[in-house]
Amino acid sequence: MLCHWIYQWKNPKCSGKLPPGTMGFPIIGETFKFMKPHDAFQLPEFVKKKILRYGPLFRTSLFGAKVIISTDIGLNMEVAKTNHVPGMPKSLARLFGENNLFVRKESHKHVRSLTTQFLGSQGLKLRMMQDLDLLARGHIDLGASNGSLDVKETASKILTESLAKKIMGEMEPEAAKELALCWRDFPKGWFRFSWNIPGTGVYRMMKARKRMMNILKETVLKKKASGEELGEFFKMLFGEMEGKAETMNIEDEIEYIFIFFLIANEATPSVLAATVKLISDNPKVMQELTREHKRIVRDRNDKDKEASLTWEDYKSMTFTQMVINESLRITSTVPTVFRIIDHEFKFGDYTIPAGWIFMGYPNVHFNPEKYDDPLAFNPWRWKEKDLTAILSKTFIPFGAGSRLCLGADFAKLLMATFIHHLCRYRWSMKTETTVLRRFILMFPGGSDIQISKDTEVDDSAGY
C-alpha cells in the first residue's frame, strides 16, 4: 500500500508524456533544494542544474504541489495568456483567501480595469505623483538628519502611506501604526508548507492577516457610519460596483484592499533596495545618476529649488529609467508567471496536465544572445530602447497576459522618485551588504545606507 502510494507520487498520472524531471520525496518533493538561498542576481542553482539536465521544461514537486517549471519565453507567454487562475502553494492561497475578487472569474476583469484607472499613467500623474514625492522627500531628509536609513523599510513606509491615504482616506494614527506593524510577519510565512500550527511562520502570518482585516474593517465601518470620507480609490472601486448585479459585501471589499496592500508591498521595497545596492557598487552609474538629478534641480533655476517633482521631470529621467529596467532584468530571478493549468495541452512531445502549478522563469533576461554579458549590471544597454514598455519578448519582470502586474508603472515611479531624492545627497551602501534570494529577496545584514545632511550635493561638486 505504502509502496504503491510512493510509486504513484513519483509517477504522476498523465494521459501523455509528462515533461522530464523528478518528484523528490513524498510530500516534501524538492522543496528544500528549491528554497536554498542563492545570489539574487542569478537564477537559482536548482533551476540552472535542471536546465542542463532536462532542457527548458521540467516537472518537480514543491510545497506538496505538482509543479511544471518552464524557462521557455514562448511557452510562458502562451500560458499567461490562456490560463487565468493564479498558481500558488496552499500557504499563499490561505493568506490571499481562496475565493477573493482577484481569483473569481466574474469580478477579476472588472476590478482589474478599475484598478488600472487608478494606477495607469493618467492616475499616477494626477493622483499619486505629488504624494510619492512628498513622502520620499520627507523620509529621505529624515534619514539624512539621522545619518542613515534602511532602504527597504523606508520604501515600504512610503508605499504603504501613499496607498493607505488613497484607499482608506485619513486614518487614526494608532490604526495606521498597527497596520504598518502587521507587515513584518508576512514575508516570513510567504512560500512555506501550508501547516498552520502555532510557532510557524504561516501561523504568525495568518494571525497578522486577521489583525489587518479587522483594522481595515473597523475603519471602513466607522467611516461609513459617520459619513466620513474614504479614500478616492475606495470610492472609485466600490462606489461603482455597488448597485451592480454583482453584489459586493464589506468582506469582499476588505479582502480586496488587504490583498492589494499585500501584493503592492511584496516586491517593490526589496527590488528598490537591491537597485540601490547595484548603484552603490557601480560608481559610474552613481555618477551619471547624480548628474541627471542635479540637472533636474538646476533646471528649476529661478523657481523654488525645493519645488515638487513634476510629471515632466519624471519623464526626463532617462538614465534613471535605464537603471530601473536593468535592475528589474537582473533581479528577476524568480518565476514571473504563476498559473494553475486549467486544461491539459501539448507542448512539443510533452503533455502539460490540468491542475498542475505552472511557474515561468524569465530566463530570457539572462540569455547572452538577447543581452550581451547578461550577468553584468549595465544600464547603458537600454540606450535608445523603449523605456516605457513593461513587457516584451525579451523582458517580462511583471508577468504577462490576464494577470500582468497592475502596479508596474507605480513601482517604477516610486523607485525613480526615491532615487531622485537620494541623489540630492552623497550616500553609500556598505560593500559587505548582501542580497540573497530564497524565493523572496533577502538582506541578511539589512539594507542600510549612510547618508548625511552635510553631504548634500551642490553645484560646486562638479557633476
Where does this chain bind ligand HEM (CB under 6 A)? 80, 86, 102, 112, 119, 260, 263-264, 267-268, 271, 336-338, 397-401, 403-407, 410-411
Specify whether the CB–CB gap between 292 and 318 falls below 8 A: yes
Closest to 186 (Cα-Cα) out of 287, 261, 273? 261
Query: Residues annotated in the binding site for heme, as ranges?
Result: 405
Provide, rounded to whole angstroms, the least separation between the CB of residue 40 and ligand HEM. Answer: 13
Rounded Cα distance, 342 and 355, in Å: 6
**DSSP-derived secondary structure letter, 11:** S
Rounded Cα distance, 334 and 442, in Å: 13
Rounded Cα distance, 280 and 290, in Å: 12
Provide, rounded to whole angstroms, the least separation between the CB of residue 352 and ligand HEM. Answer: 16
Specify whether the CB–CB gap between 451 and 144 falls below 8 A: yes
Provide, rounded to whole angstroms, the least separation between the CB of residue 99 and ligand HEM. Answer: 14
The nearer residue to ligand HEM, 18 or 128, going by C-beta atoms, is 128
Rounded Cα distance, 221 and 309, in Å: 36
The nearer residue to ligand HEM, 191 or 260, going by C-beta atoms, is 260
Provide, rounded to whole angstroms, the least separation between the CB of residue 16 and ligand HEM. Answer: 25
Q: What residues contact residue 93 under an 8 Å CB cut-off, 6+ apart? A: none
The nearer residue to ligand HEM, 293 or 412, going by C-beta atoms, is 412
Distance of CA 458 to the CA centre of its chain: 34
The nearer residue to ligand HEM, 24 or 87, going by C-beta atoms, is 87
Provide, rounded to whole angstroms, the least separation between the CB of residue 342 and ligand HEM. Answer: 14
The nearer residue to ligand HEM, 379 or 399, going by C-beta atoms, is 399
Provide, rounded to whole angstroms, the least separation between the CB of residue 186 and ligand HEM. Answer: 15
The nearer residue to ligand HEM, 46 or 410, going by C-beta atoms, is 410
The nearer residue to ligand HEM, 26 or 120, going by C-beta atoms, is 120
Closest to 362 (Cα-Cα) out of 35, 43, 7? 43
The nearer residue to ligand HEM, 24 or 231, going by C-beta atoms, is 231
DSSP labels, 96-135? H-TT-TTTSHHHHHHHHHHHHHHHSHHHIIIIIHHHHHHH
Query: Residues annotated in the binding site, as ranges?
Result: 405
The pairing of beta strand 148-150 with beta strand 448-456: antiparallel
Provide, rounded to whole angstroms, the least separation between the CB of residue 145 and ligand HEM. Answer: 27
Rounded Cα distance, 273 and 150, in Å: 9
Provide the CB-side half-sphere exposure for 398 (13 A, CA): 19
Rounded Cα distance, 53 and 45, in Å: 12
Provide, rounded to whole angstroms, the least separation between the CB of residue 340 and ligand HEM. Answer: 11
Rounded Cα distance, 212 and 424, in Å: 36
> CA angle, corner 128, sides to 127 and 134, nearest 5?
125
Minimal CB distance residue for ligand HEM: 407
